[in-house]
Structure 1
Amino acid sequence: MNNNSSASDLIESLEQLQTRLNGFAAQLASNQLPFWLPGLKPANLSSAAALYSDIWYRDGRDGRTTISHHGLIGADAALIKQALLVNQAKCEFQRHATQYRLSKDLPLQQQLHLRSEKLATLLHFQGASRLHLKQCYRHIPVLETAPVKIGFSWYTSGRSIKKLTPQQALDRLMKMDTSQTHIQRQIEAVGRLRPGDLLAQIQTLAPVIRANMLWKEQDQLIRKAKNISLPILVALNPANPVLPEYNEPPLSPPDTRSRLERNDLKIDPDLFLPSLRAHRYLG
């Protein structure tokens, strides 16, 4: 596949995503079923539609963060279908964007903006400079059968832990400014490690809302949990449109971690290589 066809496929998949988002937003605006949208201002379906449709970076906003709101929106079959079509388009766009490395190919982004008048107009009026890939990729959460209960809670203990060998750590340090004293000290520290030693590169994840869902089917209780960054669409019976039972968590996460640290933690809490956020494993 040549570069021109790659760009064309990518642009087409993004335009398809935008078209389906527009269709979903229009369908959502006509929705007559109950909803709960805490913290969204104004707390109406137009605001929710804008939240689902936001796939662009905003000026002055930290590009590493995503706009997140939890909530529940009752949905009929037509709205559920539109949401699933959006999610399908998101998968297709992510496939192309990953294949063509859109996040690192600025000329291709510029070509995308120039080739599509519709998208260029959208960029102008929304004050957006480039795509927010995480918000492009994240799916609209859809429950095609309504649970009896949904419990929302803040999850503040999330961490990403990646293992590094001494050689991998050394390779990364050598790519930094080795004239700096603190880098030289870390290189020396790596040199004192044994070949079989491992390091833990730790990143604390941002707090997220987790939805704990409960279904009752015959004599069985079925539980599922999922992190939520967008309001959940819940399929409701139009003849009896009642949202599942739910709680109302605080709008902002607690200041402290929600779980105690394990007593058998095997990672040294003190940083061993600060420039890599790397810790030693305790023997």
Structure 2
Amino acid sequence: MSDQPSPSAYRLLLQLEQQFDYLLETIEAAVSLYEQQQPPTWVFHQTTPTTHWLREALFDMWHEQDQDGRETRNYIAIVAANEELLTAIDAINQAKANFSELLQDIKKSFPGALSDAKSRLPKRHPHVDEVLRRNGLARLHLKQSWRQLPIAQAPVSRVRFAWYSSGRSIKRLTVQEAERKLIQLDTDAPHIRIQLRKLASIPSGEILAQVQTQAPLMRANLFFTEPLADGHTRRALNAAMPIFVPANGQRLPHINLPALQPPTTRTRARRRDEKLEHEVFLPSLRVYRYR
């Protein structure tokens, strides 16, 4: 039997449920408005988007069975929205931000209550039982629940989409940190012992790089009809969620048609100032040495 949350944790969980209910209400208000207005819309590789595609996209906040928790499903689209719809989308973003902030408070102050929150929140979804039966969805996907909906700052003349498939994150590690990570693995395994010996052969003060290759993502370049107040004429952003642009005469901006799948090979030349060695130094940790 699991421990009951403390009164303070319970209050935060209650606030979280209320904020989640409010988030669902803001989504319902926006998608209902969208379905009523049916504004000009472009959806990636859909000749004729279904009436309910936005509802499906914005209410998609659940893990599928066997889904990697780090992965999120993408909904690449452009919507030419009027002021009323833009205001409704902004309300969703505010609700998402507040929901995310509460989750972080719970994670920081009452980490044991987070799993309880995740099990309780799906029950707040008005159609969750039906969704679970139909699609085999499991639990709330936090990353998908709080990710923001991009809103263009000004009217847009054209949008250029392109796959970005060479992204990576780099975390600096000390030799001691790398050693601890290797020891947490199976030190009886020959390949781990080999890597520990390699690590022992380099200076103890050397800084290493742990590299995580990021999944391919779609990027969008928005070109504004006029320069913004700061002088910028375009903005680049990740296009995982629908992008809402101010309706410019009820027309969509010019949009290129990117490939259905990301390229299988690197399309950008390697940076000449790339500072990591080409060969991985500690394969089990994806750790490289700097040149």
Q: Which AA in structure 1 matches 2:34?
A: L
Residue of structure 2 equivalent to 1:95: 101
Aligned equivalents of 2:112 and 2:122: distance in 1?
14
Counterpart residue type for residue 9 of structure 1: Q
SS of alignment partner, residue 170 of structure 2: strand
Q: Which residue of 2 aligns with 1:266?
A: 275
1:121 is aligned to 129
**2:187 counterpart letter in structure 1:** T
From 220, 231, 243, the equivalent of 1:232 is 243
How many residues of Structure 1 are paired with residues of Structure 2 in the alignment?
A: 279
* 1:268 aligned partner, one-letter code: E
8 Å CA contact retained: 2:167, 2:216: yes
Give distance in 1, aligned partners of 2:48 and 2:277: 46
Cross-structure match for 1:82: 88
Please list every run of 5 or more consecutive structure 2 residues that lacks an aligned counterpart in the other structure.
1-6
List, as ranges, runs of 4+ consecutive aligned residues in structure 1 with deviation greater than 3 Å.
60-63, 102-105, 111-114, 116-127, 218-221
User: Could you say which residue in structure 2 is the equivalent of 1:198?
Assistant: 207
User: What's the offset of the Cα at 1:61?
Assistant: 3.5
Confirm or deny: 8 A CA contact 1:80 1:144 kept in the other structure: no
Once the two structures are superposed, residues 137-180 of structure 1 have per-residue CA deviations (whole angstroms, 9 ceiling, x without a partner) of 21111124211121111111211111111011112112222222
Aligned equivalents of 2:130, 2:15: Cα separation in 1: 20
Cα distance in 2 for partners of 1:117, 1:209 equals 29
1:11-160 matched pairs, under 5 angstroms:
11-40=17-46, 43-101=49-107, 105-113=114-122, 116=124, 118=126, 121=129, 124-125=132-133, 127-160=136-169
Tell me the residue number matched to 2:3: none
Q: Structure 1 or 2: larger strand share? A: 1
Deviation of 1:40 after TM superposition, in Å, equals 4.5
Distance 1:35 1:123, change over 3 A: closer
- 1:162 alignment partner, SS class: strand
Task: Give the secondary structure class of the aligned counterpart of 2:281.
Answer: strand
> One-letter code of the match for 1:233?
F
1:174 aligns with 2:183: yes
Look up the match of 1:213: 222
2:247 pairs with 1:247: no
Cα offset, 1:83, TM superposition:
0.6
| Structure 1 residue 104: Cα displacement | 8.5
Conservation of the 8 A alpha-carbon contact between 2:64 and 2:137: yes
Q: Contact 1:97–1:103 at 8 Å: present in 2 too? A: no
* Counterpart Cα distance in 1 of 2:9 and 2:38: 46
